[in-house]
């Protein structure tokens, strides 16, 4: 691992009053870079690993700490992306600084960089988990080949990460984006539900309806959008998926 004073992170943007990326009011730090190419991604501008917004961990944490009065007793700091695990040491040091101040820390990840067979990487990941209050993990598709067609990558290491985090005793929230005709089949949702039941620290399951609010970004970047014409799921479709995933069975599940 790099020394604390040599670590640099590359930030895409921040949200100072986030309400959906972890419990309570959150300061959300979005990092640059992602290897996934999810067909419904609403932040494709974070894919490229640009280096024009460099921050040290101390600078990033100090900027967040200024908003601590908004967090009260149940908010905190979330680091998202892009894919934050591509900047593992930076996230780990920001969370170390936050943990020292008693700040709730949430890692919002798709898990793709996880390396289950790499002991050196896992040691760095363990250091991150030591100061992580919550892992928010996207599980996009259970079937390996469907996952590859959807994201450009397989999912074996991502499922391994879910099991690893749970085995370490770190609370988990799982998110699944519901895309009609793509990620909403009952068989796939039942397989996901069966997997979720193996995670002892699972606290919340969220079904996120597919939307096209980021479509203009694909157009501005000149990236072909392959889901043109796919509708947003109906409330009934979302409810059916939530029932298959037993969303409300989890102690921290949303009750709205």
* CATH classification at residue 70: 3.20.20.70
160/142 Cα distance (integer angstroms): 12
pLDDT tens digits along 203-227: 999 999 998 877 878 788 888 988 8
Is residue 78 pLDDT above 70, yes or no?
yes
What is the rounded average pLDDT of the residues 184-191? 96
H/E element, 12: strand 9-18
Question: For the chain, how many structural domains are there in total?
Answer: 1
Q: Are 247 and 207 in contact (CB under 8 A)?
A: yes
pLDDT at res. 256: 41
239/88 Cα distance (integer angstroms): 36
Q: Is 125 contained in some domain?
A: yes
pLDDT at res. 51: 72
pLDDT tens digits along 18-53: 999 999 999 999 999 999 999 888 888 888 877 778
Q: Is 255 contained in some domain?
A: no
Q: Is 254 contained in some domain?
A: no
* Domain boundaries, position 221: 4-249
């Amino acid at each position: 691992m790099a020394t604390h004073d040599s670590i640099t992170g590359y930030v895409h943007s921040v949200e100072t009053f986030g309400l959906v990326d972890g419990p309570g009011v959150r300061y959300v730090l979005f990092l640059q870079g992602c290897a996934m190419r999810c067909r419904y991604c609403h932040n494709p501008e974070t894919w490229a690993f640009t280096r024009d917004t460099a921050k040290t961990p101390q600078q990033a944490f100090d900027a967040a700490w200024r908003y601590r009065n908004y967090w009260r007793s149940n908010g905190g700091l979330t680091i998202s992306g892009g894919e934050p695990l591509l900047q593992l040491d930076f996230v780990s040091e920001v969370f170390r600084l936050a943990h020292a101040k008693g700040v709730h820390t949430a890692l919002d990840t798709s898990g793709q960089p996880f390396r289950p067979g790499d002991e050196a990487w896992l040691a760095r990941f363990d250091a991150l988990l030591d100061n992580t209050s919550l892992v928010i993990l996207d599980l996009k598709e259970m079937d390996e080949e469907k996952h590859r067609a959807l994201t450009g990558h397989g999912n074996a290491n991502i499922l391994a990460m879910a099991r690893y985090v749970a085995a370490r005793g770190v609370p988990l929230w799982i998110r699944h984006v519901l895309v009609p005709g793509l990620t909403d089949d009952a068989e796939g949702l039942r397989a996901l539900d069966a997997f979720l039941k193996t995670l002892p620290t699972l606290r919340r399951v969220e079904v996120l309806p597919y939307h096209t609010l980021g479509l203009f970004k694909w157009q501005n970047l000149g990236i072909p959008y392959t889901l043109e014409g796919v509708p947003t799921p109906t409330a009934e479709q979302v409810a059916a998926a939530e029932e298959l995933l037993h969303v409300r069975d989890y102690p921290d599940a949303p009750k709205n």
